[in-house]
Chain A
Amino acid sequence: MVDTQTTTPASQGGAEPASGPAAAALLGAGIGTFVLGIFTTWAEASTGMHDWLQWNDRVGPLMGKTILGVIAFFASWAVLGFLWKDKNPELRPILIATAALIGAGFVLTFPTFFQAFA
């Protein structure tokens, strides 16, 4: 005898959840990565910024850069998540913006690029 529960196709699901929370999380990661990149290049270009980001002498400016990047990630995710909680924003432009922000953050944290500003 076949157990009907185990043979029910998984495709027979209920209502799909809103895309807003996914959009908020994805864009948050893009913003966090971009902010990390901005401070990485800025610290290289400006001695004042380099010194300001050095919140702990043992860790150096890496501490400020990464904490600000992580704060930007979680804060933007929280704000966007609140705004888009039950909304269904189109994911395509969100994905393009996220890819662009992560790509820019990647370039801004690449040594050959940011050391050109030293």
Chain B
Amino acid sequence: MKLTSREFWTLIHGLVIGSAFLLAFAGGLAGLWSLRSELVTSAGLAERMRRLKIGIVAMALAAWATVLTGTYIVYPWYREKVATSAKSILLANPDTADWHEFGMEWKEHIAWISPMLATVAAFLVVYYGTSLARNPKLRNIVLVVFVGAFATAAVAGLFGALITKAAAVK
């Protein structure tokens, strides 16, 4: 049982950091959804807010780590100008060419929207803190931005998994 350096980094990019992102999203969504002044006491709010800030900042950091490792470590291997690269293998067969032409082309761009949205969501939670519980409009804005960060990452992650299944980076 052995992983090559490329397989290792693909695993770090997609599975390890991606899982951290998913975990932080699930916790953050639950925390944001229930962040309502009528549901929690001031002491409960302070405790919940500390956890929410850590989780949402972790999600933003995971989003940046995912796109940076993907773009600067894994992607150059994917697009190498050799016959054995994943991109060359996909394009060589008309039945798999769309995995690159559509899937990878969409994934490599949309993925970069996620860290920007996640950073804004993290900033809003850290900056406005407990006042979000008293301001449903602003809390809803944070929720939309937060879900947007997840949705764009989900598209990238889904295509990443499917493309790897069609032609893995080796």
Contacts and interface: CB of A to CB of B under 8 A. Distances in A.
A5 B42 CA distance: 7
A60 B75 CA distance: 10
B67 to A, nearest CB: 8
Q: Which secondary structure dominates where chain B touches chain A?
A: helix
B154 interface: no
A10 interface: yes
Nearest to A58: B76
Interface string A95-118: 100000010011001111001000
Contact of A9 (B42, B110, B123): B42
B72 A59 contact: yes
Interface in B64-110: 67, 71-72, 75-76, 79, 101-102, 105-106, 108-110
Interface of B: 37-38, 40-45, 67, 71-72, 75-76, 79, 101-102, 105-106, 108-110, 112-113, 116-117, 119-120, 123-124, 127-128, 130-131, 133-135, 137-138, 141, 145, 148
Interface of A: 3, 5-13, 16-17, 19, 21-22, 25-26, 28-29, 32-33, 36-37, 40, 58-60, 62-63, 65-66, 69-70, 73, 91, 95, 102, 105-106, 109-112, 115
